[in-house]
Structure 1
Amino acid sequence: MRRAVATIGLCLSLLTGGAATAATLQENNEAMFRLMQEKRGVTDTQIAAIRKIFQASGYAGQGNPAATRHPMTPQQAQAKLPQDAYQYYRNAQFERICGRKYMAPLYDPATQRPEDAKVCVDMFEYPNVPLAYPVTWIKASEAAQVCFAEGKRMGDAHEWEGAAAGALLPPDYRFDLGTPQAMRAAHNAKWGPSKSWTYGPQWQRGICAQGSQKSPGCNGGSWAGCGSNTYPVGSFPGCKSALGVYDLEGNAAEHMNLPLNESQMASRGSRTLGVTEMKGSWFIWDTIRAHEEWARWRAPYWHGTPVMSSHSHANYHLGFRCFADVK
């Protein structure tokens, strides 16, 4: 155990955020890229493409180092686990199906086996490495480009909801209704009576990475004033859906694709995509439940833009995870 803690501390020493590290955003990102290569096998070519996206953004990373104060270190998160985190979260069956580390197959357990899955999802928020802090301050368009750079893609709303609810069901988009607002209302009316959360039928405090606080004086979204005060991904091993996906509640909220017609469905090969959908609750939820939220809930059209718009939204609590079609 001591060796595991020391290893994670060495690999993630630049990712703890806050003034104590004296690290810049670029230094944090470079440490994260090295970790992605070492622990997930992301290639040099893929990292080069991802680096360009982050550099062009100027903000994408694990938060503003000057403002961010993470409530838990990777070493503290490791101490909660019975073995080295990188091994604890490995799943040989998932890797055979998905062809990559730290991805989980999505399927309907009522009628399918894991081997029947046609799509997999990152087990953790990006960078999808156990005990790394999630990426924030990234636009939906940039998140989609990062996923493409890894040979993955952004997920459709129904895929994220299936991961959270523990059963991937067929798409139920009401394209005939025409607007994101009308589609949302119809979907929530359908699923509201049977709402559930990733870990069960009742919402609970303390299960997921939701016990942090906003930066003092955070005014709703400034880079200088609002730290990404997130936890290392996988810090709460009980915050897991029935399909083996972590941190769908808590930590960063997540960009997702809401298609407005069939040609915008990422799950059917579109790279044009639809409009932005924000998924998941985030790091202050145990104290401030800012809005309704459950596994299949679809949010209002907050900061709505086309996913691939250069003006799509970024924020200190907003991140993403990638999906990949099974080949």
Structure 2
Amino acid sequence: MAGDRSDASVTAQGNRPTAVSGPGPGDTLDARFELREPLGEGTLGAAWRGYDTVGNRPVIIKLFAERFASRKTLVRRFLEHYKARLKWSHEGVARIFGVGIHEGTPWVAIEFLEGLSLRQVIDARRGEGAPFSPEEADPILEGIGRVLSWLHRDGFHGNLRPENVFLLPEKICLTDDGLMDILPPEVFARVLIKRTDAAPYCAPELLSDPESAGREADVFGLAAIAYELLSGEPPTMEGQGLQELRPEIPEAIAAVIQRGMADAPERRYPTTNTFLLNYARALGDEEKIRILEAVVEAEAAEEAERTLAEARKQSQADQQATSEPPAGSSPDDTSAAEDHVAHLFVDEDVPDDLPSSAIAESHEVQAAVEEPGESTDILEPTPAIAQTSPGRGPLVAVLVVVLAGIVGAGVWWFQGRRSATDTASVAAKSSAAKAASEPVESAATRKLRGIVAQAITDAEQSRADLVKLWPEVVKEKRFTDADGLLGDARKAAHQAEYDTALELARLATTEFRLLATEREAQLEAEAEARKASAEAAAKKASAAPPKKAAAAAPKKQVKKSCPDGMVDIPAGAFFAGSPSDDLLRDPTERGLEKMKTGRYCIDRYEYPNRKGARPKTSVSLAQARALCEKAGKRLCTELEWERACKGPKNDPYPYGKVWDPNVCNTETATGEDRALAPVGAFEGCASPYGVYDMSGNVLEWTSTPFEQNRTLMIAKGGSFKRPDYAARCAYRYTAPAGTKDAEIGFRCCSDL
């Protein structure tokens, strides 16, 4: 078992790291994170094994080195970087649980990763004299590449090496990314120069001109890791060839790695996926070649749109700066952008020594660039595409998957291969040379738009079929939910958010068909019941005894109702918690389990349960309980609260299956905090039962203790400054019962 110790060389047991003063063993940071054991020194400072007393989990705590902590600018950059990371949610990046300053020392609490670092695995194989084969290295490289592709949307890693790669049973995770966001370029370069263990994986530009470095530096790092996996030794400054160490490695594989480690960034592959594509070609893996070609094409199309959009923006700025454009130029001159776009599309050549099948396929790609034509076969995206963080481009229509691989002394399988249809040839070069005023649309985009249109048509047909079966269905709330999905799909398609539109349309189709199936079964059951009733009546009439005097009618029972301002939740079952494969799942959440509740009432709004009132916050659990009891009610249990949030369909959010930052009072789509709002201010933030503000605004105390640490109590619902994962119905926030916080309020329940 190993944690995020990626950048720390272990010190002697009990020795405290000397580079940092301030916090020490036994100290508690932010009344939550305990420092327990020093692990060593890293790039930014000391690493400690720690414990999160609120989340009830081990963590790694990093303390900013004293030489950096004395500089206010670096402290600000440290805090800004890790506070932004608090909102990240990707399985391939170590999560951040807390960040702050303790006794003048900046600190960050990071997810403890229960796995082996790639350095440990490589060293173990080296000790056995058994470096990886190209096939064994493939899933590891692809797993790293998958995470890098996600990071490259807004930046790059810049510190990629085996110590910062962790192999877990079901995923690969990267750590220590974004150091250039904290350290100025010249400081970052000096730190790298001093770290001899980083040199073999460090792209030359990171040392000579770090300000110019970009994602090509990660291509170098990935290729350097591939070199060590296959050779058993890290790359050398002398540039010793891979085949000199292992002559049995195919020349095609060696050539791909050599190009990935080219000194000049422009001579390397432009993206990590392009590197992986050529590696797959060298292996002759036809299925992966088809998948990665579609990935690279989608990346290129997205980059083309972004580049031309920037060119148009710059052109408009230039026009505003001068009344007359320079002689010989046009207002929408985008030649530089077009040259860059053309490079993205054609810079996928393969080494001369590739297998003949791969060379033939490469020639077909080049022909497609020289003679553009309409493509009819493209990879059909899956609904899983929509599981992305805010800001992802609309054209990313395919997934990079981690394939099966063997690491360490045993066999580790990374299952993730998904079947895909045939992909189209690379988009024509001429499409990138369109006028700046025209949008760039690749063959992948055109095909995806068609798939989305068909999905919406299917949903509309399913709706029409349902209406035929159930003329009164428009009165049903569940129908309205499905219709809302269809409307959202049309809106997303109009805005060219094709991946989201596709998922919503398919969800709508499923909902309509489920309703139709239920209605058909209901009609059949009603028909059978009428038939049985008629037969029973006829049989009874034929053998009926003489009529007796009518018995007195039983006294009608009056059904109890909830008090004004409360919602009646019927007795029944629901699925509490979250599934283990939920990417947004927090470790403290209950596992998915079918649970039952009796009938109960719950306040429609947060306390004081008056629409437009300010929620009561900064109350302890005892104070919240007392206020409920004063009103003749009680605090809700966790199960009662969660059932009222999920509704009859067990959706992850009170309003549906997909997070929408504009429906409830949570953080914004750009990750900015909102302010506390009056209860009921967000009209759309209601569960199917009609209970408001169960996602965002304020966390709400429940009467349920946390089963792993019964000194902590569970609060639900997220708040005005929390992201998507914390706004889910299943999310749990745990805190001591005496906690008074501006984010924590409550609502009441009562029995019937």
Greater RCO (CA < 8 Å, at least 6 residues apart): 1
Give TM class, smaller chain: 0.3 to 0.5
Where is the strand percentage greater, Structure 1 or Structure 2?
2
Q: TM-score, normalised by structure 1?
A: 0.45
Task: Select the structure that is richer in helix.
Answer: 2
